[in-house]
């Protein structure tokens, strides 16, 4: 059965799940055989989480969720490309998800590599270069704001990623304008397990 939430209620549900995870009180909901069976023909996730591919950033675990709860997209450094935008637009237009979450984290390897490339002028080889090129504007903005630590750059990259989504996709921007969708940017603390709000777009 479909459960449609407002952006504010979806955000509240994520916060509550993360609070349980931080406190060591995870309930591991929606992870049994009956839940699996109920999802065979349909899905109604209440949020889409676009996060970093880092192995320590498993979305369903850190928000104490289960099967069918969230639509998850991951790339190193949560870098946007056409496939990401298409996946996000699908979640909005076809699955009617009310909340987009941008999930970055401290000590991000992709942001660290970009910081090094900006400071040394030496670009990495192969397709890692593409990641670095896409993160570079966030690192440069952080530096202009006298934010020189990697974790400050991560936060800036989360903010810029959120705004770029709204700027790049008419599907997403229209949904935000209509009040159907909101975007939140979160920075995850590896030691605490806490996902802290760093930006918000839309009605929450």
State the average pLDDT for the chain: 94
The answer to whether 110 and 79 have CB atoms below 8 angstroms apart is yes
Domain boundaries, the chain: 7-201
Question: What is the predicted pLDDT for the residue at 3?
Answer: 57
52 annotated ligand-binding residue: yes
Helix and strand numbers, DSSP H then E, in the chain: 8, 5
Q: What is the pLDDT of residues 105-138, one digit of tens each?
A: 999 999 999 999 999 999 999 999 999 999 999 9
pLDDT at 171 over 60: yes
Rounded percentage of the chain residues whose pLDDT exceeds 70: 99
Assess contact for 133 and 77: CB atoms under 8 A: no
Which fold, 7-201? Beta-carbonic Anhydrase; Chain A (3.40.1050)
Estimate to the nearest angstrom the gap between the alpha carbon of 157 and the chain centroid: 11
Q: Is 105 annotated as a binding residue?
A: yes
157 annotated as belonging to a binding site for a ligand: no
Task: Tell which residue, 86, 108, 104, 47, has the closest CA to residue 169.
Answer: 86
CA–CA distance from 155 to each of 102, 141, 161, 172, 179 (Å)? 10, 11, 10, 21, 25
pTM of the model as a whole: 0.94
Is 90 within 8 Å of 50 (Cβ atoms)?
no
């Amino acid at each position: 059965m479909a459960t449609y939430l407002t952006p504010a209620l979806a955000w509240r549900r994520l916060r509550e799940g993360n609070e349980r995870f931080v406190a060591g009180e995870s309930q591991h909901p929606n992870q049994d055989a009956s839940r699996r069976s109920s999802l065979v023909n349909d899905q109604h996730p209440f949020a889409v989480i676009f996060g970093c591919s880092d192995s320590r950033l498993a979305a369903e675990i850190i928000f104490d969720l289960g099967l069918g709860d969230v639509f998850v997209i991951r790339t190193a450094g949560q870098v946007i490309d056409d496939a990401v935008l298409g996946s996000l637009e699908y979640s909005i237009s076809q699955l009617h998800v009310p909340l987009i979450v941008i999930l970055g984290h401290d000590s991000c390897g992709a942001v660290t590599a970009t910081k090094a490339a900006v400071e040394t002028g030496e670009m990495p080889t192969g397709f890692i270069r593409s990641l670095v090129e896409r993160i570079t504007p966030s690192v440069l903005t952080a530096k202009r704001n006298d934010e020189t630590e990697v974790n400050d750059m991560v936060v800036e990259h989360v903010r810029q990623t959120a705004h770029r989504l709204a700027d790049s996709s008419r599907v997403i921007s229209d949904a935000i304008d209509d009040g159907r969708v909101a975007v939140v940017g979160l920075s995850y603390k590896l030691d605490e397990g806490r996902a802290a709000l760093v930006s918000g777009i839309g009605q929450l």
